[in-house]
Amino acid sequence: QVQLVQSGAEVKKPGASVKVSCKVSGYTLTELSMHWVRQAPGKGLEWMGGFDPEDGETIYAQKFQGRVTMTEDTSTDTAYMELSSLRSEDTAVYYCAIGIPEWFDPWGQGTLVTVSS
């Protein structure tokens, strides 16, 4: 079965970038469709983007286009999500999740990113 293990918590200053990793085990990344979802403190879930296997491309939610980059290192079966120009509103737990291909299962444990001056 697929397991996802994410990198640890990060504290960043406004304007900086953060790169969160998600290590896959049990399957190879090339067999999977990786997505990223975030959750601000006490708030709901927000889909940021993910790999569309029909088009073979990564699709980003319009809200994050230009600020987010999702990449994969197939040699290590690790996915990455980089978010730039951070602001306080980006403080959230960021989850990686496998798209099957449109609903999400399983999820990583989450990575807390705190943006604070």
Partner 1 sequence: EIVMTQSPATLSVSPGERATLSCRASQSVSSNLAWYQQKPGQAPRLLIYGASTRATGIPARFSGSGSGTEFTLTISSLQSEDFAVYYCQQYNNWLKTFGQGTKVEIK
Residue numbers at the binding site for partner 1 (CB under 8 A) = 35, 44-47, 52, 59, 61-62, 95, 97, 100, 102-110
Q: Which is nearer to partner 1, 15 or 63 (CB)?
A: 63
Q: Which is nearer to partner 1, 10 or 52 (CB)?
A: 52
CA separation for the pair 85, 103 (Å, rounded)? 29
Query: Measured from the CB of residue 55, what is the shortest distance to partner 1 in angstroms?
Result: 9
Query: Measured from the CB of residue 9, what is the shortest distance to partner 1 in angstroms?
Result: 13
- What letter would DSSP give residue 43? -
Query: Measured from the CB of residue 28, what is the shortest distance to partner 1 in angstroms?
Result: 21
Structure tokens at 51: 């790999």
**What is the number of residues in the chain?**
117
CA separation for the pair 54, 39 (Å, rounded)? 27
Q: What is the dihedral of CA 110, 94, 50, 24, to 10 degrees?
A: -30
Q: Which is nearer to partner 1, 17 or 109 (CB)?
A: 109
